[in-house]
Homo-oligomer: A and B are copies of this chain.
Amino acid sequence: MKRSDRLVAMTNYLIEHPMELVSLPFFSSTYDAAKSSISEDLAIINKMFQSEGIGFLESFSGASGGVKYIPKHSKKRSEEFVEQLCKQLEDPERILPGGYLFMSDLLGEPNTVRNIGRLFATEFSDLDIDVVVTVATKGIPLAYAVASFLHVPVVIVRRDPKVTEGSTVSINYVSGSSRKIQTMVLSKRSLQEGAKVCIIDDFMKAGGTINGITNLLKEFNAHVAAIGVLAEAEDEEEERVVNDYTSLVQIKNVDMKTKQIEVVKGNFLLG
C-alpha cells in the first residue's frame, strides 16, 4: 500500500481507537508495509494531530510496544469552545421558573456533546479511569462522550429500579435543592469491586446528587478519581457538599426580573 493510502487508513484507525495500544506489527501486517515505513507514517500523524489540536501519539517501546492515541483538546480549542458555550447559555430565552436554565437543546447536539467529552477526557486522561458513572437522564450523553475518548465503559445510576437491570443496590439520599428524600439504584453486575471511577453530570448546585452517587459507589468499594460537571451554579440556601470537581462553565447570576444571565468559565483549565 502506498504511503498516502496508509495515512488515511491509519488516521481513521487511530481516531476510532483512542487510548488503545496498537502494535507496530499490527499496522505493518494490516497495511502491508515495513516497520520503518510505519514508523515514519506515525511520525507524520503525530505531528499533524498536534498541529490540529486533537492530541498526540504516545510511543511504547519493547516487545509489547506500539503507539496509543491520546486525545487532548488544545488549550486554544478548549477556551474557544467554552467561551462560545458561555455565550450560548447567556441567552435570556433560556430562563426557566426557579432560576433554572434550559440547556436541552445544547445537550441535544452531538457535536457539542462530543466536544464536552473531549474536554473532560483531556483533563482526566492521566488518571487511569476504569469506568464513567452518571445518573439518568441528562448526564448520559456527556458520560458516553467522555467514555468514548477514555476508551472505558459507562455505568448509569437510575432513580428507579427496572426489571432489565437485574438485582440492584439502592441508597436513599437527600436532594440539596428540594430537600426531598430520593432513591438511587445501580445494577449489581454493572460495576466491578474497587473500580476507579469518573462521575459525569450536566449540572451541579449544592452537589446532593453527586454526593448520592459517591455514597452509592461506596457500596461497590469504588474509588472516585474525578468528578466532572458541565455547569455549576451557586445554591444560596445550602453549602456545597462536593468540593473536588471540574466544571466547564459557572452560572453566576440569573436575574428573573431583568432577564439577565451571567455565565463564566468554570474551574476547568485553572488548575
Contacts and interface: CB of A to CB of B under 8 A. Distances in A.
Interface string A208-246: 000000000000000000000000000000000000000
A52 B47 CA distance: 23
B98 A52 contact: no
A109 B104 CA distance: 24
B166 A154 contact: no
A154 B136 contact: no
Contacts of A45: 8
Interface in A167-192: 187, 189-190
Contacts of A190: 104-105, 108
A36 interface: no
Number of copies: 2
A156 B44 contact: no
Given A102-B166, A164-B103, A4 B44 contact: yes
A5 interface: yes
A153 B48 CA distance: 30
Given A104-B187, A153-B109, A189-B105, A11 B5 contact: no
Interface string A108-121: 11110110000000
Interface of A: 3-5, 7-9, 11-12, 15, 44-45, 47-49, 51-52, 54, 96-98, 100-105, 108-111, 113-114, 136-138, 140-141, 144, 147-148, 151-156, 158, 163-166, 187, 189-190, 203
